[in-house]
């Protein structure tokens, strides 16, 4: 009875914890990558690093299936090539929604559609059809009763704003006012949000020394270098905040208000060519970690202090197939084996590189016995995992279950081989966790909130072996 009371308290706590709202930091997932990991491997990396929001640049079926039942919020995209067809024919929009949204929800938590990418500045001939495309998609969502769950918007770059400083004087490019007014009318009527691609790196480079590098990297400025808007006297501690306020003021200039901004892309390249001296790993590490801290304080820019800045980092992997300057291929947070390009903190976990032991590979609860046995045999054979400790009579033989033995072998292989490209998959029978599976005497609230199946499995195992004392802890 006491155990049941304790478990119910845990469930209540986690329910309350999971409903806590606040600004999030998500990640973009580009696909111009040599040796792109499989969709299940990508999702395992996301879960290991507690990434709760992702933006896809298309509506890839493999990713949408792999993201099912993870709780991760997903923004899918209509590619620029698809915008014209969707804008011209409502039936094309309806078919797109049926195929790429309705087929996956509610298992896959799709919450937004990004219509194109910077269409107004990269495909100006498509501008007249952009709002019709957004409207056709929204109507298709209404017909599928999904319009309250899935919002529609379109990402714009800072290039649609004629001058971004001072933020209070910023306005949209006059030649785009008609189309942007239609976009804002659509966003207001559908209770959606403005999608902004904001890159202090590019703005800093274009400024030719007008603004200090520290300002672009969220670093404190000396009193003599403070950035102040002369009209509002607002102090700007970062270029990131100034760019967002410039956008809010541009929206206000067209007599719109109450439309929140979501930053759909931002980041900093970790490597560049000889003419890109500020594209360095040290600067990228500073920018991204300071960005995470900035967004996590749940405040908005000076003009909208009560509106948090939900943000997606560009991007998960280095897209080495991209054309252009060297920096274009070096925006990634992780290498394709899951190790970090530089030290950073995502979610509640610190990612420190190939030798980090902050994630563990375990057998996926519910995997069928035959597949688990195949995975275990491979890990202990060709995978060269050290499976001596799970042999009969050895210290890790008990509990004598296939799940336990496979978890031990999977994790031994993963910890040895992850630095050289080894993954946690084993035919789909494995998953990554941040909870150390060797510490069976600990049951954490974090384990339940992020890995409920594994948590319940551990609880029931402890009951079966009559463990009397259970330690419950919350990772700070």
Count other Cβ atoms within 10 Å, centred on residue 15.
10
| Residues in a beta bridge with 344 | 351
Number of helices and strands (H, E) in the chain?
16, 17
Q: What is the 3-state secondary structure (H, E, C) of 24-44?
A: CEEEEECCCCCCCCCHHHHHH
Is the separation of the CB atoms in 228 and 149 below 8 Å? no
Q: Which helix (H) or strand (E) holds 213?
A: helix 213-216
Q: Of the candidates 471, 431, 420, which has an alpha carbon nearest to the alpha carbon of residue 454? A: 431
Count other Cβ atoms within 10 Å, centred on residue 146.
17
Residues that are catalytic: 118, 265
Calculate ∠ Cα 174-177-181, nearest 5°.
Answer: 160
Is the separation of the CB atoms in 295 and 22 below 8 Å? no
Angstrom CA distances, 302 to 63, 216, 238, stand at 37, 16, 11
How do strand 73-78 and strand 53-56 relate by DSSP bridges? parallel
Q: Of the candidates 36, 30, 31, 18, which has an alpha carbon nearest to the alpha carbon of residue 73? A: 18
Is the separation of the CB atoms in 221 and 242 below 8 Å? no
Count other Cβ atoms within 10 Å, centred on residue 256.
18
Return d(Cα 170, Cα 429) in angstroms, integer.
53
- Structure-block tokens of residue 54: 């992702």
Q: Which helix (H) or strand (E) holds 402?
A: helix 402-417
225, burial (CB in 10 Å: exposed 0-12, middle 13-18, buried 19+): exposed
Return d(Cα 116, Cα 110) in angstroms, integer.
17
How do strand 471-473 and strand 194-197 relate by DSSP bridges? unpaired
């Amino acid at each position: 009875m006491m155990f049941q009371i304790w478990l119910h308290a845990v469930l209540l706590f986690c329910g309350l914890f999971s409903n806590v709202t606040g600004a999030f930091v998500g990640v973009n997932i580009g696909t111009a990558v040599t040796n792109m990991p499989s969709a299940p491997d990508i999702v395992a990396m996301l879960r290991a690093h507690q990434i709760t929001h992702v933006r896809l640049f298309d509506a890839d079926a493999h990713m949408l299936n792999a993201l099912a039942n993870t709780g991760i919020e997903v923004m899918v995209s209509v590619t620029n090539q698809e915008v014209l067809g969707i804008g011209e024919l409502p039936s094309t929009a309806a078919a797109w929604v049926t195929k790429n949204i309705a087929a996956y929800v509610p298992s896959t938590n799709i919450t937004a559609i990004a219509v194109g990418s910077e269409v107004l500045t990269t495909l100006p001939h498509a501008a007249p059809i952009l709002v019709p495309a957004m409207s056709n998609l929204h109507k298709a969502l209404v017909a599928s009763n999904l319009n309250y769950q899935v919002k529609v918007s379109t990402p714009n770059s800072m290039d649609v704003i004629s001058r971004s400083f001072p933020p209070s004087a910023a306005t949209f490019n006059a030649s785009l006012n008609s189309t942007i007014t239609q976009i804002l009318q659509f966003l207001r009527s559908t209770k959606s949000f403005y999608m902004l691609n904001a890159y202090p790196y590019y703005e800093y480079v274009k400024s030719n020394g007008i603004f200090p590098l520290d300002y672009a990297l969220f670093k404190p400025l000396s009193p003599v270098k403070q950035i102040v808007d002369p009209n509002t006297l607002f102090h700007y501690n970062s270029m990131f905040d100034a760019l967002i306020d410039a956008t809010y003021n541009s929206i206000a200039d067209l007599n719109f208000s109450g439309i929140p901004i979501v930053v759909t892309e931002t980041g900093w390249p970790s490597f560049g060519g000889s003419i890109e001296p500020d594209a360095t790993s040290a600067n990228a590490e500073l920018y991204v970690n300071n960005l995470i801290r900035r967004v996590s304080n749940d405040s908005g820019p000076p003009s909208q202090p009560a509106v948090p800045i939900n943000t997606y980092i560009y991007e998960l992997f280095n897209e080495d197939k991209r054309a252009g300057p060297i920096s274009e291929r070096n925006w990634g947070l992780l290498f394709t084996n899951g190790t970090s390009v530089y030290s950073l903190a995502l979610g509640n976990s610190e990612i420190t590189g190939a030798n980090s032991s902050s994630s563990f590979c375990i057998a996926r609860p519910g995997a069928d016995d035959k597949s688990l046995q195949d995975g275990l045999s491979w890990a202990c054979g060709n995978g060269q995992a050290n499976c001596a400790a799970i042999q009969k009579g050895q210290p890790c033989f008990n509990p004598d279950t296939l799940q336990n033995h496979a978890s031990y072998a999977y994790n031994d292989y993963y910890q040895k081989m992850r630095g050289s490209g080894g993954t946690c998959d084993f035919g789909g029978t494995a998953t990554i966790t941040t909870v150390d599976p060797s510490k069976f005497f600990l049951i954490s609230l974090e384990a339940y909130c992020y890995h409920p199946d594994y948590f319940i499995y551990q609880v029931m195992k402890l009951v079966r072996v009559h463990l009397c004392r259970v330690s419950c802890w919350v990772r700070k």
